[in-house]
Amino acid sequence: MALLSIDTAARRLRSGAVSSTELVADCLSRIDADNARLNAFILVMADDARAAATRCDFELANGIDRGPLHGVPISVKDLFDVKGTVTTAGSRVRDGLVATADADVVAQLRRAGAVIIGKTNMHEFAMGPTNEDSAFGAAHHPLDDTRSPGGSSGGSAISVATGMALGSLGSDTGGSIRIPAAACGIVGLKPGYDELPTSGSVPLSRTVDHVGPLAATVTDAWHLLHALRGKASLAPVTGTVPSELRLAVLRGYFCDLLDDDVRRAFETAVDTLRQQGATIVDVEIPDTALIAPAYTHIVFGDAAAYHAHALDTMPEKYTPNVRLRLEMARYVLAEDYVRALDARRLLRRQVDAALHGQQALLLPTLPIVAPPLGAATLQIGAAQEPVRNLLLRLTQLFNLTGHPAITLPCGTSSSGLPCGLQLAGPIGQTDALLHHARGVEMALGQ
């Protein structure tokens, strides 16, 4: 069955061609068919979803229209509080902690009429990019279940890529929305820092955490973003025409270490945009060597503070790999944390400078396609690199700097696995970034 976009579903709901009850039934049937194999959901909220769909159908039939998400099934990463359910964060550490209220962003989704269909699997405490280390078992890639779907919002990406939900709510501290979205061939948006509230979610790093949507298309990401802001609109995102696109390809570090298939897909996309009239220049970030060290010290320092008590009192409840990384985090020194904050400020200025005169930066989202589950390292050219480092390599910069960034599909590898293209825009201009991303999406024929 072909996937249904939120945008199309919204129009069909209003024409009477489909009901919310039917949309929910379709998603639940897909979950029944595939969740045992893919492990996308930690909790399926079938009864609640059916009841909410019935209410949505009644409201639409009686002239109450909450906007494009009204009656649309949406999944939620199990990092966010959904009232009456345990927010597991993919961990046994949080057993029995039932949320007494919805997270702010979940409440916004409900106000926009979204039907919460379930809570999705994730890398434990968002502490990794593969979704392998979850107390609820690894999630599996929809196209090859021997591979990772990416993470940490792996279940969210699977749910959208397979039609188990029409959109999903995720979080992104080093790429946790964009990594699985790219690996699974969908769209993932990390808005600017602090653009959407994190209250009611389990933090990884409060100064680096971002909340955002995963969706089938840029238009759907637009609808979700506006609903999450509390300003749902039926107005579609208008794509910037290719001849008006001004983009800067991030070269150097961002293109030095790419799988051959990813490089081919990315350069083909750049060539296609140029052929359609886009103005594209090359730029570099001078201090890329600081990206991973700054990220590690800030995120791990923040995580150590949050997890210290649980590490001391219930270490056996963590998955082994996540426990080890959190224990390592406890050795970050204050003076080095401050150096990392200084590095972050420097990198933010350098990204701003790279964006000067440009609408967006353009780069691959991942240097590789979805990696095999269990792989600790992968060979790229002559280099043997840790999978974790590879997956985070091209996304974590914009978590540090707070610039909005979006991934969209850009072709496939020779083995048919998706490749992703990333756009990052100026701070405070997320809507404009989505207009440009829609333009790129159309130019690439999607």
Partner 1 sequence: MTIERWLKAAVEDAERRGLPELKPLLEGLARATTVLRTAQPGGEAHGPAQH
Does 285 bind partner 1 (CB under 8 A)? Our answer is no
Active-site residue (options: 159, 168, 176, 201): 176
Name the DSSP class of 213.
E
Q: Among positive and negative, which fits the CA dihedral 260, 266, 268, 270?
A: negative
Residue number, 3 or 292, with CB nearest to partner 1:
292
The verdict on whether 233 is a catalytic residue reads no
Given a contact cutoff of 8 angstroms between Cβ atoms, the answer to whether 178 and 185 are in contact is: no
Rounded distance between C-alpha atoms, residue 367 and residue 232, angstroms: 35
Which of 64, 101, 281, 333 binds partner 1 (CB under 8 A)? It is 333
Whose CA is closest to 120, among 172, 159, 69? 159
Whose CA is closest to 365, among 441, 213, 262? 262
Q: In terms of C-beta distances under 8 Å and separation of at least 24 residues, what long-range contacts does 314-320 make, across chains too?
A: 314/93, 317/91, 317/92, 317/93, 317/95, 317/135, 318/91, 318/92, 318/93, 318/124, 319/91, 319/124, 319/133, 319/134, 319/135, 320/133
Does 64 bind partner 1 (CB under 8 A)? Our answer is no
The verdict on whether 77 is a catalytic residue reads yes
Given a contact cutoff of 8 angstroms between Cβ atoms, the answer to whether 67 and 56 are in contact is: no
CB of 174 to partner 1, least distance (A): 14
Does 385 bind partner 1 (CB under 8 A)? Our answer is no
Which of 296, 399, 407, 430 binds partner 1 (CB under 8 A)? It is 296
Which of 181, 183, 343, 370 binds partner 1 (CB under 8 A)? It is 343
Which of 33, 64, 324, 353 binds partner 1 (CB under 8 A)? It is 324
Given a contact cutoff of 8 angstroms between Cβ atoms, the answer to whether 13 and 19 are in contact is: yes
CB of 192 to partner 1, least distance (A): 22
Which of 95, 260, 342, 352 binds partner 1 (CB under 8 A)? It is 342
Which of 140, 147, 210, 325 binds partner 1 (CB under 8 A)? It is 325
**What is the bridge-based pairing of β-strands 279-283 and 246-250?**
parallel
Phi (first) and psi of residue 74, to 5 degrees: -130, 140
CB of 320 to partner 1, least distance (A): 9
Active-site residue (options: 19, 152, 159, 171): 152
Does 284 bind partner 1 (CB under 8 A)? Our answer is no
- Residues forming contacts to partner 1 in the complex (CB under 8 A) are 287, 289-290, 292-294, 296-297, 300, 324-325, 327-328, 331-333, 336, 338-343, 345-346
Query: Which amino acids are annotated catalytic?
Result: 77, 152, 176
